[in-house]
Structure 1
Amino acid sequence: MEPSLLSLLPPVVTIFCAIVTRRILISLALGIVLGALIHAQGNLMAAGVFVFDVASGLVIDDGAVAEEVYILGVVLLLGVLTSLIHVSGGLVAFASWAITKVRTRVQAQLVPVVVGIVIFFDDAFSSLVGGNVSRPITDQHRISRAKLSYLVDSTAAPVIVLVPISGWAAFIAATMTGILDANGVSGITGYEAFLQAIPTNLYAITALLLAIAAAALSLSLGPMNEHERAAMEDGLLVDPSRGPVPGETDRTLEARADGRVGDLVGPVLVLTGVTVVCALWIGIAGTEGPLSVMEVLANTDVIVSLFIGTVVACLVTAGTLLVRGTPVDLMGRATVAGLKSMLVAAAVLFLAWVTAGVISELGIGEYLAGIVDAALPTALLPALLFVLASFISFSIGSTFGTFGLLLPIAGEIAVALDPSLLVPMFGAVLAGAIFGDHTSPLSDTTILSSIGSGIQLVEHVTTQLPFALVAAGASALGYLVLGATGSGVAGLVTALVALALAVGVLWMRSPRVGAFSEPTS
């Protein structure tokens, strides 16, 4: 079908229903059915075949196991790993140790920020592992899971897109190289264009700085206020009325009394180490010709590596428990409990992928991209591309899809109208794609952040949205100034000043009870 205004209906209905009803599975199913019927023009049989084709493509892709299967495997196995660590006594031991080192709520909130910055090479790894590692510490200090998931999500994609050594950098640089070649632009390589676009990626910069400020100053905004108050005053880290929490350990499982800090740190180190080694091995093996960091990153597969790392971590943890004489039936119950704790989360993730695939086939990106009119004032183009990239990424839940769709359009428009805006317009597209990814319940990074942090998806989306809008508002002002002045420095300074003013207002209004004190229990 030809892309049209009707293409917008499925994502709008899905996201609206998810936020209003807070029933994410039903909302996703509704979006799939609606999108399939629109695609098949009302033909039920054709709609069913269409959905089956999209779903099967998430299992087998070009004759091989699809990446999505490995991600689902990681999600389920992380539930198992968490349960096994609980049985080992590692969670209690680590929390007891951490409480002597991380003494205040502010310090505890900075933990997921630091972890997110350290894990700069993959957003899925950062979202899942960052939340799981930080959760015992933030739980001890009565930091709501909503705040944790926000901090985890806001230091995943923003960090990765700003770091010049990552898989994202390799993909974006390669995409920009093709755009520059296609438009006859010389004197700059794709990687150089990516590096120069970093200071103009205003949303990634402001979102990361806002997350740091939110942790350091214990800032809250909108629905996050209630979550933080409930956590600080009543010890309610997550709203129990919202249903089962993804990844929550079954507390009825017996935990060993001789647990050690190493029972948690060891599996995490194994997971991280094996993942990194496998990623390097795959990247080196897949690189033809001279080896370079960017070539290795471009040819590796972090998701497969993460799956292998998770499997090995589970086996090592299980083996350690057996050596220490842990009953086999307890380990079996822990394994089943871990899988069950992640089933709903895995279902949400899979349905979100199907929804995004259905929506993508409706041509929503092409339709929205066609709105860009070369006759518009040149000064408005950076801001317009930021808004457009935001809406496309929000609608389809894919940063890479948005990159691939809009970066070529941005390049063509800039070369035709004002070559000096080429790099800033690249930056605006990258920024908008990250903002849309942060605010969309269809985004896998958003879903994985909620899973890793142990909170329902809709709660994460609704509590993160106000913070994302603050950073986006500051970024939009920066792009308006950038377009009007032609100066990337002026745009960045404007965005930073606007963000600083917003942080000042938030600091005066945020509840900070016990922010710098040690927990009472």
Structure 2
Amino acid sequence: MEPSLLSLLPPLVTIVCAIATRRILISLALGIVLGALLYAEGNVLTAAGFVLDVAAGLVIDDGMVAEEMYILGVVLLLGVLTSFIHVSGGLAAFAAWVVTRVRTRVQAQLVPVVLGIVIFFDDAFSSLVGGNVSRPITDQHRISRAKLSYLVDSTAAPVIVLVPISGWAAFIAATMTGILDANGVPGLSGYQAFLQSVPMNLYAITALLLAVATAVLSLAFGPMRRHERAAIQEGVLFDSSRGPVPGEADRNLQARADGRVGDLLWPVLVLTGVTLVCAVWIGIAGTEGPLGPMEVLANTDVIVSLLIGTVAACLLAAGTLLLRRTPVGTLGRAALSGVRSMLVAAVVLFLAWVTAGVISELGIGEYVAGLVDQALPPALLPVLLFALASFISFSIGSTFGTFGLLLPIAAEIALALDPTLLVPMFGAVLGGAIFGDHTSPLSDTTILSAIGSGIHLVDHTVTQLPFALVAATAAALGYVVLGFTASAAAGVLAAVAVLAVAVAILRARSPRIEAAPEPGPGN
């Protein structure tokens, strides 16, 4: 079908249905069916064949196992690893050790923030590992899983897109190089354009600052407040009415009494170390010509490296249990329990990919991008591109897809109207793509943050949205200032000032939640 207003229907129906019914599987299936029927213009057989083709492309791509299958493998193996660590007694030992080191809720909330900043090279790795490592710490201090997943998600993509030596930086710089070469822009390389766009990626900056402020000030507003109140006053860390959350170890499995902190730390360190070594090795092997950090990043495969690292961590955890004479039957039950704990999450992730694939074929990005009115004042173009990128990314759940679609359009508009707006509009597209991806339940980063943090996807999406909207509002006003002043510093200052005012107001209207009083004698 030709891109039209109807192209917007499948993602909107999926997202509205997911939020309204909180049944994510049914919502995703509905979006897939609706999108396929629109694509096939009502022909049921053609629609079914189209969906099968999209799904098959997620399994085998160009005769090779698709990257998505490696991600699913990582998700399932992380469930196995969590079960092994639980059986080893490592979770309990780590929680007891943490009590003596991380003494306050503020310190506990800063743990996922710091991890998100340290793990700057891949969003999937940051979401899964950051959530899993932080969870025992935040659970111990009665921090809701909703708050944890927000902090994990807000320090994944927003950090990675700002760091000039991440895999994202390599992809974006390569994309910008192609755009600049195609338009004959002299004296500016793709990597230089990316570096100059970093301070103009206002949403990534405001989202990261808001995450830090939320941790330090213990902010909780909107639906998040209900989750935080339940955690602080009742010790209820997530809404169990919708069933078990992904990645939660089966508490019916007997944990060893001789567990040690190393039973958790060593598998995590092996996972991280092996992933990094493999990523560097693959990047070096795949680089032809000059060898530098950016070339290695551009030619590596972090997802394959992460799978290898996860397998190594599982083998270490299993080997440690066997050396302690843990029965093989117990090990098998733990592995099966771990896979079972991640099955629903894996299905959600796969259906989200199918949904995104179906939606992308409807031409939603091209349709929305075509609505850009070049008669608008050039000064408003950065904020307009930010809004467009946000909507497209939210609808299709893909940052890279939005980058690839809108960056060339932004360049063409800027070079035709005002070349000085080229880099600001690049920054606006990058920021909008991060915001849309950050808030979309179709985004793999959103789903992986929920999986890593142990919370239902819908709860993570709904509780995170108000925080993301605050950061996006501050960024949008910053883009207005940036457009009129052509000054990155003015745009950043305006965005940060608006964010500071918003935080002050929210803190005044949402006072700190106090723990429930202990029952007195005779009560």
**Aligned counterparts of 2:441 and 2:340: Cα–Cα separation in 1:** 22
The residue that corresponds to 2:240 in the other structure is: 240
**Letter of the aligned partner of 1:124 in structure 2?**
A
The residue that corresponds to 2:306 in the other structure is: 306
The residue that corresponds to 1:388 in the other structure is: 388
**Aligned counterparts of 2:511 and 2:469: Cα–Cα separation in 1:** 20
Note the C-alpha offset of 1:428.
0.1
The residue that corresponds to 1:72 in the other structure is: 72
The residue that corresponds to 2:53 in the other structure is: 53
Matched, 1:360 2:357: no
**Aligned counterparts of 1:238 and 1:366: Cα–Cα separation in 2:** 39
**Letter of the aligned partner of 2:438 in structure 1?**
H
Number of positions where the alignment pairs a residue of Structure 1 with one of Structure 2: 515
The residue that corresponds to 1:208 in the other structure is: 208
Matched, 1:145 2:145: yes
**Letter of the aligned partner of 1:399 in structure 2?**
T
**Aligned counterparts of 2:446 and 2:214: Cα–Cα separation in 1:** 18
SS of the residue 1:288 aligns to: coil
**Aligned counterparts of 1:490 and 1:221: Cα–Cα separation in 2:** 29
**Letter of the aligned partner of 1:376 in structure 2?**
L
The residue that corresponds to 2:404 in the other structure is: 404
**Aligned counterparts of 1:514 and 1:133: Cα–Cα separation in 2:** 26
After TM superposition, the structure 1 = structure 2 runs for residues 144-163 of structure 1, keeping only pairs within 5 Å, are: 144-163=144-163
**Aligned counterparts of 2:195 and 2:470: Cα–Cα separation in 1:** 25
After TM superposition, the structure 1 = structure 2 runs for residues 222-371 of structure 1, keeping only pairs within 5 Å, are: 222-371=222-371
TM-score calculated relative to the size of structure 1: 0.98
**Letter of the aligned partner of 2:270 in structure 1?**
V
The residue that corresponds to 2:472 in the other structure is: 472
**Aligned counterparts of 1:510 and 1:130: Cα–Cα separation in 2:** 27
The residue that corresponds to 1:135 in the other structure is: 135
Q: Could you tell me the percent identity over the aligned residues?
A: 80
The residue that corresponds to 1:441 in the other structure is: 441
Stretches of structure 2 that go unaligned for 5 or more consecutive residues are 516-523
Listed one character per residue, the Cα deviations across residues 195-235 of structure 1 (whole Å, up to 9, x for unaligned) are 00000000000000000000010001100000000000000
Contact 1:121/1:167 (<8 A) preserved: yes
**Aligned counterparts of 2:448 and 2:436: Cα–Cα separation in 1:** 16
The residue that corresponds to 2:19 in the other structure is: 19
**Aligned counterparts of 1:438 and 1:297: Cα–Cα separation in 2:** 23
SS of the residue 1:41 aligns to: coil
Note the C-alpha offset of 1:396.
0.2
SS of the residue 2:161 aligns to: helix
**Aligned counterparts of 1:244 and 1:316: Cα–Cα separation in 2:** 27
Note the C-alpha offset of 1:411.
0.6
**Letter of the aligned partner of 2:314 in structure 1?**
C
The residue that corresponds to 2:193 in the other structure is: 193
Note the C-alpha offset of 1:467.
0.2
**Aligned counterparts of 2:492 and 2:198: Cα–Cα separation in 1:** 11
Note the C-alpha offset of 1:69.
0.1
Contact 1:128/1:452 (<8 A) preserved: yes
**Aligned counterparts of 1:444 and 1:491: Cα–Cα separation in 2:** 30
**Letter of the aligned partner of 1:137 in structure 2?**
I
Moved more, 236-245 or 390-399: 236-245
Listed one character per residue, the Cα deviations across residues 169-208 of structure 1 (whole Å, up to 9, x for unaligned) are 0000001111111111111111011000000000000000
**Letter of the aligned partner of 1:205 in structure 2?**
I
The residue that corresponds to 1:102 in the other structure is: 102
Task: Tell me how large the CA RMSD over aligned residues is.
Answer: 0.8
Note the C-alpha offset of 1:514.
5.2
Moved more, 464-473 or 323-332: 323-332
**Aligned counterparts of 2:105 and 2:486: Cα–Cα separation in 1:** 42
The residue that corresponds to 1:419 in the other structure is: 419
Contact 1:225/1:511 (<8 A) preserved: no
**Aligned counterparts of 2:125 and 2:7: Cα–Cα separation in 1:** 32
Moved more, 409-418 or 502-511: 502-511
Note the C-alpha offset of 1:243.
2.0
Moved more, 293-302 or 488-497: 488-497
**Aligned counterparts of 2:212 and 2:377: Cα–Cα separation in 1:** 36
**Letter of the aligned partner of 1:71 in structure 2?**
I
Note the C-alpha offset of 1:513.
3.5
**Letter of the aligned partner of 2:11 in structure 1?**
P
Listed one character per residue, the Cα deviations across residues 8-50 of structure 1 (whole Å, up to 9, x for unaligned) are 0000000000000000000000000000000000000000000
**Aligned counterparts of 1:348 and 1:47: Cα–Cα separation in 2:** 21
Contact 1:229/1:511 (<8 A) preserved: no
Note the C-alpha offset of 1:483.
1.1
**Letter of the aligned partner of 2:276 in structure 1?**
V
Note the C-alpha offset of 1:373.
2.1
**Letter of the aligned partner of 2:397 in structure 1?**
G
Note the C-alpha offset of 1:391.
0.2
The residue that corresponds to 1:179 in the other structure is: 179
The residue that corresponds to 1:518 in the other structure is: none
SS of the residue 1:162 aligns to: coil
Contact 2:233/2:514 (<8 A) preserved: no
**Letter of the aligned partner of 2:348 in structure 1?**
V
**Letter of the aligned partner of 1:394 in structure 2?**
F
Contact 1:142/1:237 (<8 A) preserved: yes
The residue that corresponds to 2:518 in the other structure is: none
SS of the residue 1:504 aligns to: helix
**Aligned counterparts of 1:264 and 1:110: Cα–Cα separation in 2:** 20
**Letter of the aligned partner of 1:148 in structure 2?**
L
**Letter of the aligned partner of 1:202 in structure 2?**
L
Contact 1:105/1:514 (<8 A) preserved: no
**Aligned counterparts of 2:173 and 2:514: Cα–Cα separation in 1:** 45
Note the C-alpha offset of 1:66.
0.1
Note the C-alpha offset of 1:492.
1.0
Listed one character per residue, the Cα deviations across residues 120-161 of structure 1 (whole Å, up to 9, x for unaligned) are 000000000000000000000000000000000000000000
Contact 2:145/2:237 (<8 A) preserved: yes
**Aligned counterparts of 2:14 and 2:53: Cα–Cα separation in 1:** 20
**Aligned counterparts of 2:505 and 2:165: Cα–Cα separation in 1:** 35
Contact 2:414/2:422 (<8 A) preserved: yes
The residue that corresponds to 1:122 in the other structure is: 122
**Aligned counterparts of 1:197 and 1:53: Cα–Cα separation in 2:** 37
Moved more, 335-344 or 484-493: 484-493
